[in-house]
Amino acid sequence: MVSDVLHIIAFEPLGTTGLERLADALQEALGLKPALPGSLPVPGASLDRRRAQYRSRGLLAALASWRSSRGEAGLVLGVTDRDIFIPGLSFIFGEADRENGVAVVSTARLAAEGEEEGQLEEERLLKEAVHELGHLQGLDHCRDSACIMFYSNSIGHTDAKGPGFCSSCEGERRPDRVGP
């Protein structure tokens, strides 16, 4: 079943309070209809105590399980304030699971300091969310450092890239691909 709905789920204790602006921005950027169905607990088993970080795959599995148990169509984006990683990397800003149509982004390393910190953090979160949702719509990483699909391994990369897709990625993006 194809749907243009984007379910945005907060991982506790983040809550859904600040996600309305993200939902509006994602609707404008991608044309998906946002839904805020609530929150999920962070899976305790995803915590790597030695690293004091969470395995992103555990959060993705929780999102896939949520989706499956409700028979939801559309994409699912989880947002957490926990620091996440995948084996082989010290941290990641987010990860997508194309097979299950779910993605997760973390705010843990998006913090900013100074006068415009709130706005900058929101811009960073939007960029990372669009990037991961781009993966769910069939895109791989891009070599154009200004494209939203450029791989960010530092906050500087995130800040330097634009808010949208380059012409090549926009041409390859499959907005009709909104579910597994």
Question: CA of 171: how far to CAs of 2, 29, 119, 161, in Å?
Answer: 20, 15, 29, 18
- 């800003």: which residue's tokens? 93
| Residue 147, number of CB atoms within 10 A of its CB | 21
**CA–CA dist 123, 110 (Å, integer):** 9
Q: Of the listed 99, 115, 132, 170, which one is catalytic?
A: 132
Asked about 72 being catalytic, the answer comes back as no
Residues designated catalytic: 132
